[in-house]
Amino acid sequence: MRPTLALLIGFWLLPSSVFAVDYEHDVRTLLKERCISCHGAVKQEADLRLDAGALILKGGGQPVVMPGNSGDSLLIQRVLAEDESERMPPEGARLSPDQIAVLRAWIDRGAIYPTDEIIPPRPADHWSFQPIQRPDVPAAMQSSWVRNEIDAFVLADLERRNLAPEPAASPTALLRRVTLDLIGLPPTLAEQQAFSEQPDLTAVIESLLQRPEYGERWGRHWLDVVRYADSNGYERDAEKPFVWRYRDYVIESLNQDKPFDRFIMEQLAGDELPDRTLESRIATGFLRLGHWDDEPADPQADRYDQLDDIVSTTGQAFLGLTIGCARCHDHKFEPLSARDYYSLVAVFNPLERPQAGRTEKTVMVDDVEIYAWREPDAIAPETYLLKRGSPTNPGERVTPAVPAILVAHQPAFAEPDEQTSQRRLSLARWIASAENPLTARVLVNRVWQQHFGQGLVTTANDFGLMGSVPSHPELLDWLAHWFMHDAGWSLKKLHRLILTSQTWQQAKTPNSLVRYRRLEVEAIRDSMLAVSGQLNPQRSGPAFKPPIPAAALEANSDKEKVWQASPEPEASRRSVYAFIKRGLVVPLFESLDLADTVSSCPQRQVTTVAPQALTLFNGEFSIQQATHFAERLRREAGDDPIAQIQRAWQLALCREPSSAEQELMQQFLREESLEQMCRVVLNLNEFVYPE
């Protein structure tokens, strides 16, 4: 007898009383680890579900568990089977003797499970896959606190939990918070003075939304989501020619308050729109932003890697779905099949990357060089489901479609016109439609996340079964419905609604929805430039290259040419215009948690590590801005230390120094220079936190 079989039989013959088994801790955990991917809520091979006790006893086509009799239970017979075609689980290692003993003991003791065990819902019942409906606005007892519908939903939730809202933040704190929130810069002295004379926050919000700095601030949030960078990555990491036109398109679209449904369609299919323009063609740079290997070992596999980048990013950015996980097989944890995945590949398969060998080429539109894909003609190539994701192992042919779980009936895909397949436009129209249950929910959640520090759904790129559930589901659906039908997909209207709510204007405490969070690196750097008086307001155009320490270039084979730093005035532009090189990230940006540039980034990491403090205090940029800051203080406040300290606090922190701070800084200036004091001020926690 084979040793493995003998060992298994030995355990099988042991009395089940030897084992102490807990259903929740032992049985359910084991089934989740080894069985649920094929026999759970998402996928039910042989119509069998093993993700709840009642379903295990129900079985599939036949019973698989005989309570009190593990020997006659099909479940045990299949995990013991020697025939590989019968053995379960079919992939990976066999269950260990201990694991089989756990199942036997549970069955022999009656296969008991908690009577109140919650049966996981079917995927079709998942909250985010349901049509968006407008819930009634709840009535709250403290109605005087309610300023708009957001407050009504939030207050009703607090009252259900016997909690009360936090008091409003001070006007001074709100001015700094809202200015950093909307334009990523601190309020100027003139703005502070005007607000002190007429503290109308609504007027401030309206003014900030009309400023071009708004698009620069919020455009960067979208660039995170769409994995923007100025180079290709991989070994040569060549520059993407004219990719900055897409960055400028995003900034200008937000400043124009372009309806977000149009914003979606332009990025996915701006070249297929009936009213296509140069601007809409530039928008399709979204499809080409991913990293690219200019000399791949396997060109055919690389082609599908590029298509995978587009499909995955489209799924995460607009739908909040991890569709890319279904490239090699049906998604293990979501109701997304490989057929769903390759049906989306079929949408983008007609695209061709303009290139000549290892050199990327641009597309000419109205005598302008833009960075985009192109469809060479209207005849789309056939697309096949690739078995195990291998281009050399094609399966059945697939046609364009959207994930089946999201629709009762597939949307119609248009016929080709004289120039293109029209497939992307058909997909874009569905994604941007009110019938799609995901897009509006995903977008309003992204905006909420940026304003509050955490989304109503904390997994901003994952609204699937494995994502988090919304903290305020009725509020999320109300916002999504309002955004589409009342606001006309206007981001600025959504900003106004959120920022004028009592909910957003609460003081920050551990219990409030408004979270303490550090500013992103771009806002920190831009604020330093603004306070020092060096911020260059030049907008749009090619990216600048900030200075990089020589030590950061040592690993490069061509240290002289890999990074030619821009002159200081050019390098003092806003950080959204900085060159983002995938293989050589500016150390200041990298240490302060720049977004991932390879895949969609739903939310910036906020780490706290020693290099951050060293970079902000000892870095060349910080020392340079501290010097300029000191020069500004001498110009504006003269040589009086008291006046210099007061002006420094007003510029950097938007408030007067306390008497203790004033005294401490006066003592500091008796021993240290004004430049050193400015370094200290730029490194205060209060400077890098909105409050």
The pLDDT tens digits of the residues spanning 511-547 come to: 788 888 999 999 999 999 999 999 999 999 999 999 9
pLDDT band at 11, cuts 50/70/90? very low
Three-class HEC string of 95-122: CCHHHHHHHHHHHHCCCCCCCCCCCCCC
Measure the CA–CA gap between 663 and 652, rounded to whole angstroms.
Answer: 18
Domain extents in the chain? 3-120, 259-431, 521-608, 620-688
Measure the CA–CA gap between 529 and 625, rounded to whole angstroms.
Answer: 7
Residue 342 pLDDT exceeds 90: yes
Measure the CA–CA gap between 682 and 629, rounded to whole angstroms.
Answer: 9
**Assigned token pair, 521:** 């690196």
Q: Cα dihedral sign for 104, 108, 113, 119?
A: positive
| Residue scoring higher pLDDT (406 or 47) | 406
H or E element at residue 358: none
> What was the pLDDT predicted at 555?
77
> What was the pLDDT predicted at 18?
52
Flag the least confident range among 54-68, 228-242, 258-272.
54-68
> What was the pLDDT predicted at 501?
98
Measure the CA–CA gap between 461 and 503, rounded to whole angstroms.
Answer: 24
pLDDT band at 1, cuts 50/70/90? very low
Flag the least confident range among 1-15, 224-238, 440-454, 474-488.
1-15
> Is the CB of residue 677 less than 8 Å from the CB of residue 668?
yes
Residue 578 pLDDT exceeds 70: yes
> What was the pLDDT predicted at 449?
98
Mean model confidence pLDDT for the chain? 94
User: What are phi and psi for residue 232, nearest 5 degrees?
Assistant: -85, -20
Flag the least confident range among 51-65, 278-292, 420-434, 548-562.
548-562
Count of Cβ atoms closer than 10 Å to residue 92 Cβ: 8
| Residue scoring higher pLDDT (121 or 417) | 417
Q: What is the pLDDT of residues 366-397, one digit of tens each?
A: 999 899 999 999 999 999 999 999 999 999 99
> What was the pLDDT predicted at 6?
46
pLDDT band at 572, cuts 50/70/90? very high
Q: What is the pLDDT of residues 453-505, one digit of tens each?
A: 999 999 999 999 999 999 999 999 999 999 999 999 999 999 999 999 999 99
Q: What is the pLDDT of residues 243-300, one digit of tens each?
A: 999 999 999 999 999 999 999 999 999 999 999 999 999 999 999 999 999 999 999 9
> What was the pLDDT predicted at 19?
59
Cis preceding-peptide flag for 537 (omega within 30 of 0):
no
Q: DSSP character for 356? A: E
H or E element at residue 365: strand 363-365
Residue with tokens 């408030």: 655
> Is the CB of residue 453 less than 8 Å from the CB of residue 517?
yes
